[in-house]
Structure 1
Amino acid sequence: MNAHSKPIASTEEKEDLYYAVHKGLRLANARMLIALGQLNPFDDDAVASTMRQLSDHIAMGMSHLTHENLEVHTAVDQRLPGASDHAGEDHEHHVAAFDELRVLASELVAADEERPIWLRRLYQRFALFVADDFKHMHEEETGIMPQIEEHFSADEITGIRERIVHAIAPEMMVLFTRAMLGAASRPERIGMVDGMRAGMPEGVFLGLMAAVVGHPWQSGDWMELEAALC
Protein backbone atom coordinates (compact mmCIF):
# COMPACT_ATOMS: atom_id res chain seq x y z
CA MET A 1 0.00 0.00 0.00
CA ASN A 2 1.27 3.53 -0.74
CA ALA A 3 0.15 7.07 -0.12
CA HIS A 4 -2.50 6.78 -2.82
CA SER A 5 -3.97 3.52 -1.54
CA LYS A 6 -7.45 3.46 -0.15
CA PRO A 7 -7.54 3.69 3.66
CA ILE A 8 -8.78 0.78 5.72
CA ALA A 9 -12.52 1.27 6.05
CA SER A 10 -13.52 0.86 9.66
CA THR A 11 -15.83 2.27 12.28
CA GLU A 12 -13.67 0.76 15.04
CA GLU A 13 -12.61 2.97 17.91
CA LYS A 14 -8.85 3.44 17.60
CA GLU A 15 -6.46 4.41 20.34
CA ASP A 16 -4.18 7.43 20.05
CA LEU A 17 -0.55 6.36 20.16
CA TYR A 18 0.65 9.82 21.21
CA TYR A 19 -1.88 11.38 23.56
CA ALA A 20 -1.03 9.91 26.96
CA VAL A 21 2.73 9.63 26.53
CA HIS A 22 3.02 13.13 25.09
CA LYS A 23 1.06 14.56 28.01
CA GLY A 24 3.54 12.83 30.30
CA LEU A 25 6.55 14.13 28.38
CA ARG A 26 5.16 17.67 28.42
CA LEU A 27 4.76 17.48 32.19
CA ALA A 28 8.26 16.03 32.61
CA ASN A 29 9.72 18.75 30.37
CA ALA A 30 8.00 21.47 32.37
CA ARG A 31 9.11 20.05 35.71
CA MET A 32 12.68 19.65 34.49
CA LEU A 33 12.78 23.23 33.22
CA ILE A 34 11.48 24.50 36.56
CA ALA A 35 14.02 22.40 38.46
CA LEU A 36 16.87 23.85 36.42
CA GLY A 37 15.55 27.38 36.84
CA GLN A 38 15.29 27.03 40.62
CA LEU A 39 18.61 25.22 41.12
CA ASN A 40 21.18 26.78 43.46
CA PRO A 41 24.47 26.28 41.56
CA PHE A 42 26.51 26.35 44.76
CA ASP A 43 24.54 23.60 46.52
CA ASP A 44 26.53 20.48 45.61
CA ASP A 45 23.84 18.04 46.72
CA ALA A 46 21.12 19.89 44.82
CA VAL A 47 23.27 20.07 41.70
CA ALA A 48 24.02 16.35 41.86
CA SER A 49 20.36 15.47 42.41
CA THR A 50 19.11 17.71 39.60
CA MET A 51 21.74 16.40 37.18
CA ARG A 52 20.57 12.85 37.96
CA GLN A 53 17.02 14.01 37.24
CA LEU A 54 18.22 15.48 33.95
CA SER A 55 20.05 12.27 33.06
CA ASP A 56 16.88 10.26 33.68
CA HIS A 57 14.88 12.76 31.67
CA ILE A 58 17.23 12.50 28.69
CA ALA A 59 17.18 8.70 28.94
CA MET A 60 13.38 8.74 28.87
CA GLY A 61 13.42 11.02 25.85
CA MET A 62 15.90 8.77 24.03
CA SER A 63 13.78 5.73 24.81
CA HIS A 64 10.70 7.45 23.43
CA LEU A 65 12.49 8.43 20.20
CA THR A 66 13.98 4.98 19.74
CA HIS A 67 10.67 3.16 20.09
CA GLU A 68 8.86 5.66 17.87
CA ASN A 69 11.52 5.19 15.18
CA LEU A 70 11.41 1.40 15.39
CA GLU A 71 7.68 0.85 15.66
CA VAL A 72 5.70 3.92 14.61
CA HIS A 73 7.85 5.40 11.84
CA THR A 74 8.75 2.01 10.39
CA ALA A 75 5.10 0.97 10.18
CA VAL A 76 3.99 4.31 8.75
CA ASP A 77 6.71 4.41 6.11
CA GLN A 78 5.99 0.88 4.98
CA ARG A 79 2.40 1.86 4.27
CA LEU A 80 2.86 5.55 3.45
CA PRO A 81 6.43 6.02 2.18
CA GLY A 82 7.97 9.28 3.36
CA ALA A 83 5.13 10.18 5.72
CA SER A 84 7.39 10.25 8.78
CA ASP A 85 10.44 11.88 7.18
CA HIS A 86 10.00 15.25 8.88
CA ALA A 87 9.38 13.66 12.29
CA GLY A 88 12.48 11.52 11.80
CA GLU A 89 14.55 14.63 11.10
CA ASP A 90 13.20 16.19 14.28
CA HIS A 91 14.29 13.08 16.18
CA GLU A 92 17.84 13.52 14.86
CA HIS A 93 17.81 17.11 16.12
CA HIS A 94 16.58 15.88 19.50
CA VAL A 95 19.46 13.41 19.77
CA ALA A 96 21.92 16.23 19.02
CA ALA A 97 20.23 18.37 21.68
CA PHE A 98 20.56 15.58 24.23
CA ASP A 99 24.29 15.37 23.50
CA GLU A 100 24.64 19.13 24.03
CA LEU A 101 22.70 18.97 27.29
CA ARG A 102 24.93 16.18 28.60
CA VAL A 103 28.04 18.24 27.85
CA LEU A 104 26.61 21.32 29.55
CA ALA A 105 25.60 19.25 32.59
CA SER A 106 29.13 17.87 32.85
CA GLU A 107 30.60 21.36 32.60
CA LEU A 108 28.26 22.56 35.33
CA VAL A 109 29.25 19.78 37.72
CA ALA A 110 32.97 20.31 37.05
CA ALA A 111 32.84 24.11 37.36
CA ASP A 112 33.61 26.06 40.51
CA GLU A 113 32.96 29.79 40.67
CA GLU A 114 31.68 29.72 37.08
CA ARG A 115 28.80 27.42 37.94
CA PRO A 116 26.12 30.14 37.55
CA ILE A 117 27.32 30.73 33.97
CA TRP A 118 27.14 27.05 33.06
CA LEU A 119 23.78 26.66 34.77
CA ARG A 120 22.34 29.54 32.78
CA ARG A 121 23.64 28.00 29.56
CA LEU A 122 22.15 24.64 30.48
CA TYR A 123 18.82 26.20 31.44
CA GLN A 124 18.62 28.19 28.20
CA ARG A 125 19.55 25.20 26.03
CA PHE A 126 17.00 23.01 27.78
CA ALA A 127 14.33 25.69 27.35
CA LEU A 128 15.06 25.75 23.62
CA PHE A 129 14.80 21.96 23.49
CA VAL A 130 11.44 22.11 25.26
CA ALA A 131 10.15 24.64 22.72
CA ASP A 132 11.26 22.41 19.85
CA ASP A 133 9.86 19.30 21.51
CA PHE A 134 6.45 20.85 22.14
CA LYS A 135 6.21 21.85 18.47
CA HIS A 136 7.39 18.40 17.37
CA MET A 137 4.85 16.56 19.52
CA HIS A 138 2.04 18.74 18.22
CA GLU A 139 3.05 17.95 14.64
CA GLU A 140 3.05 14.22 15.39
CA GLU A 141 -0.37 14.41 17.02
CA THR A 142 -1.97 16.47 14.27
CA GLY A 143 -0.03 15.16 11.27
CA ILE A 144 1.09 11.58 11.71
CA MET A 145 -1.62 10.26 14.03
CA PRO A 146 -4.51 11.13 11.67
CA GLN A 147 -2.72 9.21 8.91
CA ILE A 148 -2.28 6.23 11.22
CA GLU A 149 -5.97 6.33 12.12
CA GLU A 150 -6.90 6.49 8.44
CA HIS A 151 -4.62 3.77 7.11
CA PHE A 152 -4.30 1.30 10.02
CA SER A 153 -6.88 -0.88 11.71
CA ALA A 154 -7.59 -0.68 15.43
CA ASP A 155 -5.81 -4.01 15.96
CA GLU A 156 -2.76 -2.82 14.06
CA ILE A 157 -2.55 0.36 16.12
CA THR A 158 -2.93 -1.58 19.35
CA GLY A 159 -0.21 -3.95 18.16
CA ILE A 160 2.19 -1.05 17.64
CA ARG A 161 1.52 0.22 21.14
CA GLU A 162 1.90 -3.22 22.69
CA ARG A 163 5.24 -3.82 20.98
CA ILE A 164 6.50 -0.49 22.29
CA VAL A 165 5.36 -1.22 25.85
CA HIS A 166 6.88 -4.71 25.86
CA ALA A 167 10.24 -3.32 24.70
CA ILE A 168 10.55 -0.75 27.49
CA ALA A 169 12.91 -1.74 30.30
CA PRO A 170 11.29 -1.94 33.78
CA GLU A 171 13.25 0.99 35.21
CA MET A 172 12.30 3.12 32.21
CA MET A 173 8.67 2.04 32.52
CA VAL A 174 8.66 3.52 36.02
CA LEU A 175 9.70 6.92 34.63
CA PHE A 176 7.11 6.83 31.86
CA THR A 177 4.34 5.66 34.17
CA ARG A 178 5.12 8.33 36.75
CA ALA A 179 5.03 11.07 34.11
CA MET A 180 1.92 9.79 32.34
CA LEU A 181 -0.09 9.29 35.52
CA GLY A 182 1.00 12.66 36.87
CA ALA A 183 -0.10 14.41 33.68
CA ALA A 184 -3.44 12.62 33.35
CA SER A 185 -6.83 13.82 34.53
CA ARG A 186 -8.35 11.76 37.34
CA PRO A 187 -10.65 9.77 35.00
CA GLU A 188 -7.71 9.12 32.66
CA ARG A 189 -5.52 8.16 35.61
CA ILE A 190 -8.06 5.69 36.95
CA GLY A 191 -8.50 4.19 33.50
CA MET A 192 -4.75 3.80 33.03
CA VAL A 193 -4.21 2.17 36.42
CA ASP A 194 -7.19 -0.15 35.99
CA GLY A 195 -5.90 -1.12 32.55
CA MET A 196 -2.43 -1.90 33.88
CA ARG A 197 -3.87 -3.94 36.71
CA ALA A 198 -6.02 -5.95 34.33
CA GLY A 199 -3.08 -6.62 32.02
CA MET A 200 -0.42 -7.58 34.57
CA PRO A 201 0.06 -10.27 37.19
CA GLU A 202 -0.90 -8.82 40.56
CA GLY A 203 2.66 -8.96 41.92
CA VAL A 204 4.08 -7.19 38.88
CA PHE A 205 1.41 -4.51 39.04
CA LEU A 206 1.96 -3.86 42.75
CA GLY A 207 5.73 -3.77 42.25
CA LEU A 208 5.41 -1.23 39.45
CA MET A 209 3.08 0.99 41.43
CA ALA A 210 5.34 0.83 44.50
CA ALA A 211 8.25 1.96 42.33
CA VAL A 212 6.17 4.72 40.75
CA VAL A 213 4.84 6.08 44.05
CA GLY A 214 7.96 5.41 46.10
CA HIS A 215 6.33 3.04 48.60
CA PRO A 216 3.68 0.32 48.58
CA TRP A 217 0.43 1.74 47.26
CA GLN A 218 -3.02 0.74 48.47
CA SER A 219 -5.07 0.05 45.35
CA GLY A 220 -7.85 2.57 44.94
CA ASP A 221 -6.29 5.24 47.14
CA TRP A 222 -6.31 7.87 44.42
CA MET A 223 -5.65 10.77 46.77
CA GLU A 224 -2.41 9.16 47.94
CA LEU A 225 -1.37 8.43 44.35
CA GLU A 226 -2.08 11.99 43.27
CA ALA A 227 -0.23 13.42 46.27
CA ALA A 228 2.84 11.45 45.21
CA LEU A 229 2.66 12.21 41.48
CA CYS A 230 0.83 15.49 41.02
Structure 2
Amino acid sequence: MQSHALEMAHVAATARTHLGRFNMYAGIHKALRALMADTLITVGRTDPTDAADVAHASTRVGELMDLCASHVVHENNFVHPALEARCPGVCGSVARDHEGHLHHIAHLRDAAQALVGLEAAEREAALQALYLALALFVADNFQHMHVEETVHNTALWAAYNDAELIGIHDALLATIPPAEMMLVMRWMLPQLNAPERLGVMQGMRAGAPAPVFDGMLSATQGLLNQRDWTKLARGLDVPPVPGLVVG
Protein backbone atom coordinates (compact mmCIF):
# COMPACT_ATOMS: atom_id res chain seq x y z
CA MET A 1 0.00 0.00 0.00
CA GLN A 2 2.79 2.43 0.88
CA SER A 3 4.59 1.69 -2.41
CA HIS A 4 1.36 2.27 -4.32
CA ALA A 5 0.77 5.57 -2.52
CA LEU A 6 4.30 6.74 -3.27
CA GLU A 7 3.89 5.83 -6.94
CA MET A 8 0.63 7.77 -7.16
CA ALA A 9 2.23 10.78 -5.48
CA HIS A 10 5.07 10.67 -8.02
CA VAL A 11 2.62 10.49 -10.92
CA ALA A 12 0.60 13.40 -9.55
CA ALA A 13 3.75 15.48 -9.12
CA THR A 14 4.85 14.67 -12.66
CA ALA A 15 1.45 15.66 -14.02
CA ARG A 16 1.55 18.98 -12.20
CA THR A 17 5.07 19.66 -13.45
CA HIS A 18 3.94 19.27 -17.04
CA LEU A 19 0.61 21.07 -16.91
CA GLY A 20 0.30 23.11 -20.06
CA ARG A 21 2.35 20.75 -22.25
CA PHE A 22 0.70 19.13 -25.25
CA ASN A 23 -0.43 15.63 -24.25
CA MET A 24 -1.20 13.46 -27.28
CA TYR A 25 -2.28 10.53 -25.12
CA ALA A 26 -4.83 12.27 -22.90
CA GLY A 27 -7.93 12.46 -25.07
CA ILE A 28 -7.71 9.15 -26.89
CA HIS A 29 -6.91 7.28 -23.71
CA LYS A 30 -9.94 8.77 -21.97
CA ALA A 31 -12.02 7.56 -24.91
CA LEU A 32 -10.50 4.08 -24.83
CA ARG A 33 -10.93 3.71 -21.07
CA ALA A 34 -14.59 4.69 -21.35
CA LEU A 35 -15.28 2.40 -24.30
CA MET A 36 -13.44 -0.51 -22.70
CA ALA A 37 -15.31 -0.14 -19.41
CA ASP A 38 -18.69 0.24 -21.08
CA THR A 39 -18.10 -2.75 -23.36
CA LEU A 40 -17.04 -4.91 -20.43
CA ILE A 41 -20.20 -3.93 -18.54
CA THR A 42 -22.29 -4.66 -21.64
CA VAL A 43 -20.89 -8.17 -21.97
CA GLY A 44 -21.32 -8.81 -18.25
CA ARG A 45 -25.03 -8.00 -18.30
CA THR A 46 -25.86 -9.69 -21.62
CA ASP A 47 -28.79 -12.09 -21.41
CA PRO A 48 -27.61 -15.43 -22.86
CA THR A 49 -31.20 -16.43 -23.62
CA ASP A 50 -31.77 -13.35 -25.80
CA ALA A 51 -30.28 -13.68 -29.29
CA ALA A 52 -30.54 -9.94 -29.96
CA ASP A 53 -28.74 -9.19 -26.69
CA VAL A 54 -25.97 -11.61 -27.59
CA ALA A 55 -25.63 -10.16 -31.10
CA HIS A 56 -25.35 -6.67 -29.62
CA ALA A 57 -22.60 -7.77 -27.23
CA SER A 58 -20.74 -9.44 -30.08
CA THR A 59 -20.93 -6.27 -32.17
CA ARG A 60 -19.76 -4.09 -29.29
CA VAL A 61 -16.71 -6.28 -28.62
CA GLY A 62 -15.85 -6.31 -32.32
CA GLU A 63 -16.12 -2.53 -32.47
CA LEU A 64 -13.79 -2.17 -29.48
CA MET A 65 -11.28 -4.65 -30.89
CA ASP A 66 -11.18 -2.84 -34.23
CA LEU A 67 -10.50 0.48 -32.51
CA CYS A 68 -7.84 -1.03 -30.24
CA ALA A 69 -6.06 -2.62 -33.19
CA SER A 70 -6.14 0.65 -35.09
CA HIS A 71 -4.81 2.49 -32.04
CA VAL A 72 -1.85 0.13 -31.82
CA VAL A 73 -1.05 0.77 -35.49
CA HIS A 74 -1.28 4.54 -35.04
CA GLU A 75 1.11 4.51 -32.10
CA ASN A 76 3.50 2.11 -33.81
CA ASN A 77 3.60 4.21 -36.97
CA PHE A 78 3.86 7.69 -35.46
CA VAL A 79 4.55 7.87 -31.72
CA HIS A 80 7.11 5.09 -31.36
CA PRO A 81 9.30 6.23 -34.28
CA ALA A 82 9.34 9.73 -32.78
CA LEU A 83 10.36 8.36 -29.40
CA GLU A 84 13.02 6.04 -30.79
CA ALA A 85 14.49 8.85 -32.90
CA ARG A 86 15.42 10.88 -29.83
CA CYS A 87 15.04 8.46 -26.90
CA PRO A 88 16.36 5.11 -28.20
CA GLY A 89 15.13 2.09 -26.27
CA VAL A 90 12.31 3.80 -24.38
CA CYS A 91 9.61 1.97 -26.37
CA GLY A 92 10.90 -1.55 -25.73
CA SER A 93 8.41 -2.80 -23.13
CA VAL A 94 5.43 -0.96 -24.61
CA ALA A 95 6.23 -2.25 -28.11
CA ARG A 96 6.21 -5.79 -26.70
CA ASP A 97 2.88 -5.03 -25.04
CA HIS A 98 1.52 -4.01 -28.44
CA GLU A 99 2.48 -7.36 -29.92
CA GLY A 100 0.66 -9.12 -27.11
CA HIS A 101 -2.36 -6.85 -27.47
CA LEU A 102 -2.74 -7.74 -31.14
CA HIS A 103 -2.84 -11.45 -30.25
CA HIS A 104 -5.43 -10.78 -27.53
CA ILE A 105 -7.46 -8.65 -29.90
CA ALA A 106 -7.60 -11.43 -32.49
CA HIS A 107 -8.67 -13.95 -29.85
CA LEU A 108 -11.37 -11.71 -28.38
CA ARG A 109 -12.69 -10.77 -31.82
CA ASP A 110 -12.99 -14.46 -32.76
CA ALA A 111 -14.68 -15.30 -29.45
CA ALA A 112 -17.18 -12.47 -29.88
CA GLN A 113 -18.00 -13.46 -33.45
CA ALA A 114 -18.50 -17.10 -32.41
CA LEU A 115 -21.20 -16.10 -29.91
CA VAL A 116 -23.82 -15.44 -32.55
CA GLY A 117 -23.56 -18.96 -33.96
CA LEU A 118 -24.00 -20.76 -30.66
CA GLU A 119 -27.06 -22.62 -29.49
CA ALA A 120 -28.89 -21.01 -26.57
CA ALA A 121 -27.62 -23.64 -24.14
CA GLU A 122 -23.98 -22.81 -25.03
CA ARG A 123 -24.18 -19.04 -24.73
CA GLU A 124 -23.95 -18.66 -20.96
CA ALA A 125 -20.57 -20.36 -20.64
CA ALA A 126 -19.23 -18.62 -23.74
CA LEU A 127 -20.35 -15.21 -22.50
CA GLN A 128 -18.74 -15.78 -19.11
CA ALA A 129 -15.48 -16.85 -20.74
CA LEU A 130 -15.55 -13.78 -22.99
CA TYR A 131 -16.33 -11.52 -20.03
CA LEU A 132 -13.37 -12.82 -18.01
CA ALA A 133 -10.97 -12.63 -20.96
CA LEU A 134 -12.14 -9.11 -21.80
CA ALA A 135 -11.72 -8.05 -18.18
CA LEU A 136 -8.07 -9.13 -18.24
CA PHE A 137 -7.55 -7.34 -21.55
CA VAL A 138 -9.02 -4.14 -20.11
CA ALA A 139 -6.92 -4.41 -16.95
CA ASP A 140 -3.76 -4.94 -18.98
CA ASN A 141 -4.56 -1.97 -21.21
CA PHE A 142 -5.25 0.31 -18.26
CA GLN A 143 -1.77 -0.46 -16.91
CA HIS A 144 -0.29 -0.08 -20.39
CA MET A 145 -1.85 3.34 -20.89
CA HIS A 146 -0.55 4.42 -17.49
CA VAL A 147 3.00 3.72 -18.63
CA GLU A 148 2.47 5.62 -21.86
CA GLU A 149 1.02 8.64 -20.06
CA THR A 150 3.88 8.77 -17.56
CA VAL A 151 7.08 7.23 -18.97
CA HIS A 152 6.43 7.99 -22.63
CA ASN A 153 5.05 11.45 -22.03
CA THR A 154 8.05 12.34 -19.89
CA ALA A 155 10.33 11.26 -22.75
CA LEU A 156 8.30 13.10 -25.37
CA TRP A 157 8.23 16.32 -23.36
CA ALA A 158 11.98 16.15 -22.78
CA ALA A 159 12.80 15.48 -26.44
CA TYR A 160 10.23 17.56 -28.35
CA ASN A 161 8.65 20.97 -28.06
CA ASP A 162 4.89 21.31 -28.30
CA ALA A 163 4.92 22.44 -31.93
CA GLU A 164 6.78 19.27 -32.89
CA LEU A 165 4.42 17.10 -30.85
CA ILE A 166 1.39 18.71 -32.45
CA GLY A 167 2.93 18.04 -35.86
CA ILE A 168 3.32 14.34 -35.03
CA HIS A 169 -0.22 14.21 -33.69
CA ASP A 170 -1.70 15.99 -36.71
CA ALA A 171 0.10 13.62 -39.08
CA LEU A 172 -1.41 10.69 -37.17
CA LEU A 173 -4.90 12.20 -37.23
CA ALA A 174 -4.69 12.69 -41.00
CA THR A 175 -4.58 8.90 -41.45
CA ILE A 176 -7.73 8.16 -39.43
CA PRO A 177 -10.82 7.34 -41.56
CA PRO A 178 -13.97 9.42 -40.88
CA ALA A 179 -15.93 6.52 -39.38
CA GLU A 180 -13.17 5.78 -36.88
CA MET A 181 -12.86 9.47 -36.02
CA MET A 182 -16.59 9.68 -35.34
CA LEU A 183 -16.40 6.67 -33.03
CA VAL A 184 -13.45 8.18 -31.16
CA MET A 185 -15.21 11.52 -30.76
CA ARG A 186 -18.36 9.75 -29.57
CA TRP A 187 -16.42 8.22 -26.69
CA MET A 188 -13.89 10.98 -26.11
CA LEU A 189 -15.86 14.22 -25.92
CA PRO A 190 -18.12 13.26 -22.98
CA GLN A 191 -15.07 12.05 -20.99
CA LEU A 192 -12.99 15.21 -21.38
CA ASN A 193 -13.12 17.91 -18.76
CA ALA A 194 -14.70 21.20 -19.81
CA PRO A 195 -11.48 23.04 -20.82
CA GLU A 196 -10.23 20.00 -22.77
CA ARG A 197 -13.56 19.64 -24.56
CA LEU A 198 -13.65 23.32 -25.47
CA GLY A 199 -10.10 23.13 -26.83
CA VAL A 200 -10.97 20.19 -29.06
CA MET A 201 -14.05 21.89 -30.44
CA GLN A 202 -12.25 25.20 -30.97
CA GLY A 203 -9.56 23.35 -32.90
CA MET A 204 -12.19 21.63 -35.01
CA ARG A 205 -13.96 24.92 -35.75
CA ALA A 206 -10.67 26.46 -36.83
CA GLY A 207 -9.59 23.55 -39.05
CA ALA A 208 -12.70 21.78 -40.34
CA PRO A 209 -15.32 22.86 -42.90
CA ALA A 210 -18.29 24.59 -41.26
CA PRO A 211 -20.77 21.74 -42.03
CA VAL A 212 -18.42 19.22 -40.40
CA PHE A 213 -18.07 21.36 -37.30
CA ASP A 214 -21.83 22.01 -37.12
CA GLY A 215 -22.54 18.29 -37.40
CA MET A 216 -20.07 17.41 -34.68
CA LEU A 217 -21.40 20.16 -32.44
CA SER A 218 -24.94 18.86 -32.83
CA ALA A 219 -23.79 15.32 -32.10
CA THR A 220 -21.85 16.51 -29.06
CA GLN A 221 -24.91 18.23 -27.66
CA GLY A 222 -26.64 14.85 -27.54
CA LEU A 223 -23.73 13.28 -25.65
CA LEU A 224 -23.41 15.82 -22.84
CA ASN A 225 -25.48 16.57 -19.79
CA GLN A 226 -27.05 20.03 -19.67
CA ARG A 227 -24.38 21.51 -17.42
CA ASP A 228 -21.49 20.38 -19.62
CA TRP A 229 -23.31 21.44 -22.79
CA THR A 230 -23.96 24.90 -21.37
CA LYS A 231 -20.27 25.34 -20.55
CA LEU A 232 -19.26 24.26 -24.05
CA ALA A 233 -21.84 26.49 -25.74
CA ARG A 234 -20.72 29.45 -23.66
CA GLY A 235 -17.09 28.84 -24.55
CA LEU A 236 -17.91 28.58 -28.25
CA ASP A 237 -20.33 31.50 -28.09
CA VAL A 238 -23.26 29.52 -29.48
CA PRO A 239 -26.81 29.42 -28.06
CA PRO A 240 -27.02 26.82 -25.26
CA VAL A 241 -30.67 26.14 -26.11
CA PRO A 242 -31.31 22.61 -27.50
CA GLY A 243 -31.94 22.76 -31.21
CA LEU A 244 -30.32 26.17 -31.67
CA VAL A 245 -26.83 25.25 -32.81
CA VAL A 246 -25.03 27.87 -34.83
CA GLY A 247 -21.72 27.26 -36.64
The TM-score with structure 1 as length reference comes to 0.85
SS at structure 2 position matched to 1:81: coil
Find the counterpart in structure 2 of residue 136 from structure 1: 144
In the alignment, does 2:77 pair up with 1:70?
A: yes
* Structure 1 residue 179: Cα displacement: 1.1
State yes or no: 1:124 paired with 2:132. yes
User: Judging changes above 3 Å, is the alpha-carbon distance between structure 1 residues 139 and 224 closer, same or farther for their aligned structure 2 residues?
Assistant: farther
Q: Distance in 2 between matches of 1:130 and 1:102?
A: 14
Q: Does 1:57 align with 2:64?
A: yes
Name which of 111, 116, 127 aligns with 1:109: 116
Alignment of 1:168-187 (within 5 A): 168-187=176-195
| Contact in 1 for aligned 2:62/2:113 (Cα 8 Å) | no
Following superposition, the deviation at residue 17 of structure 1 comes to 1.1
SS at match of 2:88: coil
Residue 192 of structure 1 aligns to a residue in which SS? helix
Q: CA deviation at 1:212?
A: 6.2
What are the superposed Cα offsets for residues 6-58 of structure 1, whole Å, 9 maximum, x if unpaired?
A: xxxxx995301111111111111110111011111121112212222211111
1:116 aligned counterpart, secondary structure = helix
Percent sequence identity over matched residues? 36
1:23 paired with 2:20, answer no
Give the SS at the match of 2:116: helix
Residue 33 of structure 1, aligned match among 17, 40, 45: 40
Tell me the SS of whatever aligns to 2:174. helix
Report deviation, 1:198.
1.9
Structure showing greater relative contact order (alpha-carbon pairs closer than 8 Å, 6 or more residues apart) = 1
Answering whether residue 210 of structure 2 is matched by residue 199 of structure 1, we say: no
Asked if 2 retains the 8 angstrom alpha-carbon contact of 1:17 and 1:157, the reply is yes
In the alignment, what sits opposite 1:153?
161
SS in 2 for 1:41: coil
Give distance in 1, aligned partners of 2:51 and 2:60. Answer: 14
2:125, 2:194 → 1: CA distance?
Answer: 41
Per-residue CA distance 1:119-176 (angstroms, 9 max, x = gap) = 0000000000000000000011110110000011211101111011111000000111
1:162 aligns with 2:173: no
- 5+ residue gaps, structure 2: 1-17, 224-228, 234-238
User: Equivalents in 2 of 1:224, 1:54: separation in Å?
Assistant: 32
- Are 2:58 and 2:115, in contact at CA under 8 Å, matched by a contact in 1? no
Gap change, CA 1:149 and 1:125, over 3 Å in 2: same
On the 8 A contact 1:174/1:212 being kept in 2, the answer is: no
Cα pair 1:58 1:98 within 8 Å, conserved? yes
2:88 — aligned with what? 81
Where does the alignment leave 5 or more consecutive residues of structure 1 unmatched?
A: 1-10, 226-230
Give the root-mean-square deviation of aligned CA atoms.
2.6
**SS at the partner of 1:110?**
coil
2:51 to 44, 57, 71: 44
Query: Structure 2 CA distance, aligned partners of 1:194 and 1:186?
Result: 12
Task: Report the number of matched residues.
Answer: 214
Conservation of the 8 A alpha-carbon contact between 1:174 and 1:211: no
The verdict on how the C-alpha distance between 1:40 and 1:73 changes in structure 2, with shifts beyond 3 A counting, is: same
Counterpart CA distance in 1 for 2:51 and 2:158 is: 52
